[in-house]
Amino acid sequence: MAIKESRDIVIEASPDEILDVIADFEAMPGWSSPHQSAEVLETGDDGRPSQVKMKVKTAGITDEQVVGYTWSGNAVRWTLVSSTQQRSQEGSYELAPEGEKTKVKLEIAVDPLVPLPGFVLKRAVKGTVETGLDELRKRVLKVKKG
Separation CA 19–CA 56 (nearest Å): 20
pLDDT at 117: 74
How confident is the model over 89-117, as pLDDT tens digits?
999 999 999 999 999 999 999 998 877 77
In this prediction, residue 67 carries a pLDDT of 98
Check pLDDT > 80 for residue 1. Answer: no
Instruction: Give the Cα separation of 106 and 32 in Å (integer).
Output: 15
Mean pLDDT for the chain overall: 93
Q: How confident is the model at residue 15 (pLDDT cuts 50, 70, 90)?
A: very high
Q: Which of 17-21, 123-127, 131-135, 140-144 has the lowest mean pLDDT?
A: 123-127
List the CATH number of the domain containing 59: 3.30.530.20
pLDDT at position 10:
98
CB of 43 closer than 8 Å to CB of 50: yes
49-81 pLDDT per residue, tens: 999 999 999 878 899 999 999 999 999 999 999
Domain of 60, in residue numbers: 3-145
With contact defined as beta carbons under 8 Å apart, do 110 and 6 qualify? no
What is the model's pTM?
Answer: 0.92
Higher-confidence position of 53 and 131? 53
Q: How far separated are the first and last CA of the chain, in Å rounded? A: 42
User: How many separate domains does the chain show?
Assistant: 1
